[in-house]
Structure 1
Amino acid sequence: MNYRKLEGIIAATVTPVTEEGQLNLEVVARLTHFLIEKGVHGLFPCGSTGEGVLLTTVERKQVAEITVKEAAGRVPVVIHTGSINLTEAIELTTHARDIGADGAALIPPYYYSIDEITMLNYYRAVARQVPDFPLYIYNIPGNVKNAVSPKVVAQLQSEFPNIVGIKDSSMDFMNFINFRQAVTEDFCILMGNDAQIYASLLMGCSGAVAATATVFPEPVVEIYESLKAGDRERALRAQDLVIKLRAIFRSYTHVAPYKKALEFRGIDAGVPHSPLRPLTSEESRKLREQLEDLGLPF
């Protein structure tokens, strides 16, 4: 199957939302242009950073449509379309294909504990509906509760040529190694832990889906580009900076620090989607100080 294989730094984009809880599609477009101009190699809307599970089906489609439209083929766009509801997952995945996205990524069903047969059947059901469309498994057991095993990934790759890769956000580097050994060399493995980009690239990872890149794409892109140019020392310095940046963001409540930091950069991404909360004024002040101390651009 011909498709645009994901390589490099894929920005896990936030979803701009107004204080009234409405999507701000104008800022979605602006953020898309900003990230592409800063050198990211792809876009990943409606994932964890993009609050996809908090959006309605209509809202998820709207974000997907504007992102694909504004990217205009300059970089690949892979939409997160996973859902606990199989019908919704199929609907969103089919929609992503129909609007011209370059692929879809799906978390497993969540809330209920599921076994391997159930997980296989979930991905099989989606893959059969879009046999001509690239799909990526999205492993994030810390949020979903149900971990995708290397055995499941290998089985799905063997059955479906349109299941072309995996984003591993397990935070366990051994999982990346095990996935790599379970699949063929052409299978796309994307690191989902911003602290492990450098190490995973050295071991053959295709790239990374990075939350920090939605705000500060420059140092994240530098990891990949420097390694590509053979400058490991520069790449490692960039990785060390991204590790510090990631630690800052993770010290606050979910999503809010990314949106506030974008505001510092002149992009009003608004507030987190309810029930997530925005930062307090004191938290915002502290966040700005921490980012300034790292010497990051505003």
Structure 2
Amino acid sequence: MPAGSQIKGIVMPVPTPFLEDGELDEKVFEQLVDFYLASGAHALFINGSYGQGPAMPENQRKRTAEIAVRRARRRVPVMVHIGAVDPYTSSDLGRHARSTGADAVAIVGPYYYSDHTEYEIVEHFRSVDQATELPVLVYNNPAYQGYAITPAMMAGLREAVPRIFGSKLARGTIPEAQRYRSAVGGDFSLFAPADNLFPGMLVGITGSISPPLSAAPEIGVRLVDAIEKRDWEKATVEQIKILEFLAATDPLFAQFGRSSQREALRLRGFDVKRFPRWPARPLTEQARKTLRESLEKLDIPLGS
């Protein structure tokens, strides 16, 4: 199996909390990392979209990587997202991730310039890989990249960069995942959204990197545990809970943006002062009530 294949199951995208001035809130970040470890997350994903990596200066991105690796203490793999507009920034972040002891890196395709040629995309990944020398997860996010890395492109990318072990499909469906697996190979790890996790794992999806589960990691862990034990009845119950939770909270995200995720973390007892790292509309009292009720249905403890 390729290096990086130990990363599977619930790979928790750790949100990065900030102080009111936009500086990193290290205390709450440490609490969140410890929370996900205690909840049974199978790996940690640092500085992705939900982790606010692209909105953070390099010094903050490096600091969160250091904290996460130190607190994980090799109990679970830690994967650090190092994607950037240019390969030099990504390479610097990658070398730093390796120095911390991170287990793998994730790289979103070079963004903003959505007219990149395939050659430019491949060379971006190749140069960053050569500087980093860690297993690579391709973070295939067409909405944020401005283009899709198609199955055929992914196959060529992996041939050019053998350390690529898998991909996160940001909006991935099961048929889409199977197209990538057919093009790239059966040993290629694929991570899909949590709403596809139960049926997806039955047909070879590796796991999920799901921001909506950041306030309720336990339910994702319970689902994967049930699947691995072939307890189909419990797996069905847990998957339905996830679907109902998403149905209740997706409209809140559409209306309030990432403030809804901040409020969910507050309801779990974390003093998140600013998230995201830009002004966002606060939730109304009715929206908070809806969010609390949706969390209460998951059989997880809430803060006072």
User: What TM-score, normalized to structure 1?
Assistant: 0.93
Aligned match of 2:164 = 163
CA drift of 1:294 comes to 5.2
- Cα separation, partners in 2 of 1:177 and 1:82, compared to 1, 3 Å: same
Moved more, 263-272 or 229-238: 263-272
How large is the RMSD of aligned CA atoms in angstroms?
1.8
CA drift of 1:119 comes to 1.5
Name the SS of the counterpart of 1:275 in structure 2.
Answer: coil
1:34 aligned partner, one-letter code: F
Question: Is residue 236 of structure 1 aligned with residue 240 of structure 2?
Answer: no
Q: What CA distance in whole angstroms lies between the structure 2 residues aligned with 1:213 and 1:182?
A: 29
How far does the alpha carbon of each residue in 1:27-86 deviate from its partner, in whole angstroms, 9 at most, with x for none?
A: 111111111111110011111111111111111111111011111111001011101122
Name the SS of the counterpart of 1:22 in structure 2.
Answer: coil
2:276 aligned partner, one-letter code: H
- Cα separation, partners in 2 of 1:249 and 1:50, compared to 1, 3 Å: farther
Aligned match of 2:246 = 246
Q: What CA distance in whole angstroms lies between the structure 2 residues aligned with 1:175 and 1:254?
A: 27
CA drift of 1:199 comes to 1.9
User: Is 2:248–2:290's contact at 8 Å kept on the other side of the alignment?
Assistant: no
Question: Is residue 266 of structure 1 aligned with residue 250 of structure 2?
Answer: no
User: Is 2:4–2:165's contact at 8 Å kept on the other side of the alignment?
Assistant: no
Aligned match of 1:73 = 74
1:277 aligned partner, one-letter code: A
How far does the alpha carbon of each residue in 1:160-203 deviate from its partner, in whole angstroms, 9 at most, with x for none?
A: 33111111113343321111111222222122x12111121111
Name the SS of the counterpart of 1:28 in structure 2.
Answer: helix
Q: What CA distance in whole angstroms lies between the structure 1 residues aligned with 2:75 and 2:182?
A: 32
Long gaps (5+) in structure 2: none
User: Is 1:13–1:44's contact at 8 Å kept on the other side of the alignment?
Assistant: yes
- Cα separation, partners in 2 of 1:177 and 1:99, compared to 1, 3 Å: same
Question: Is residue 280 of structure 1 aligned with residue 277 of structure 2?
Answer: no
Aligned match of 2:185 = 184
Q: What CA distance in whole angstroms lies between the structure 2 residues aligned with 1:249 and 1:30?
A: 24
CA drift of 1:248 comes to 3.2
User: Is 1:134–1:162's contact at 8 Å kept on the other side of the alignment?
Assistant: yes
Long gaps (5+) in structure 1: none
Q: What CA distance in whole angstroms lies between the structure 2 residues aligned with 1:265 and 1:5?
A: 29
Q: What CA distance in whole angstroms lies between the structure 1 residues aligned with 2:96 and 2:199?
A: 35
Aligned match of 2:295 = 291
| Fraction of identical pairs, as percent | 30
Aligned match of 1:118 = 120
- Cα separation, partners in 2 of 1:249 and 1:57, compared to 1, 3 Å: farther
Name the SS of the counterpart of 2:209 in structure 1.
Answer: strand
User: Is 2:3–2:163's contact at 8 Å kept on the other side of the alignment?
Assistant: no
CA drift of 1:224 comes to 0.8
Equivalence map 1:44-123=2 (5 Å)? 44-113=45-114, 114-123=116-125
Question: Is residue 21 of structure 1 aligned with residue 22 of structure 2?
Answer: yes
Question: Is residue 43 of structure 1 aligned with residue 66 of structure 2?
Answer: no
How far does the alpha carbon of each residue in 1:72-101 deviate from its partner, in whole angstroms, 9 at most, with x for none?
A: 111001011101122111111111111100
Q: What CA distance in whole angstroms lies between the structure 1 residues aligned with 2:36 and 2:297?
A: 23
User: Is 2:13–2:209's contact at 8 Å kept on the other side of the alignment?
Assistant: yes
CA drift of 1:156 comes to 2.2
Name the SS of the counterpart of 2:62 in structure 1.
Answer: helix
